[in-house]
Amino acid sequence: MPRAVDCLYDDRVTSVHEALRLRDGWRSGRQRKPSFRCRECREPVWPHHDGNTGAAAHFEHRRQNPNCALSDPRTQ
């Protein structure tokens, strides 16, 4: 199961932890809505915190992409 831990934000590589900080800043009204892109296919992705099931923080494609190795194939 692929789990991307970094992405592109403003054409630079950004960690999932930095992306979560940016996302939380947007949700609180302090920053503009961030636009994150997959490093491989450049499609939109969104950061997720680590979960209760043991999943580490990661990015998921907004829409699954069967042509991208970083897209989760379980939900395609």
38 occurs within a structural domain: yes
73 occurs within a structural domain: no
Number of domains in the chain: 1
Q: How far apart are CA 57 and CA 42, in angstroms?
A: 19
| pTM for the predicted model, two decimal places | 0.80
26 occurs within a structural domain: yes
35 occurs within a structural domain: yes
Q: Residue 27 sits in which domain range? A: 6-67
59 occurs within a structural domain: yes
Q: Would the pLDDT of 73 be above 80?
A: no
Q: Would the pLDDT of 1 be above 90?
A: no
Q: Which H or E element spans position 72?
A: none
75 occurs within a structural domain: no
62 occurs within a structural domain: yes
Q: What is the pLDDT of residues 37-65, one digit of tens each?
A: 999 999 999 999 887 777 789 999 999 89
pLDDT value of residue 56: 87
Q: Would the pLDDT of 2 be above 90?
A: no
What's 64's DSSP letter? -
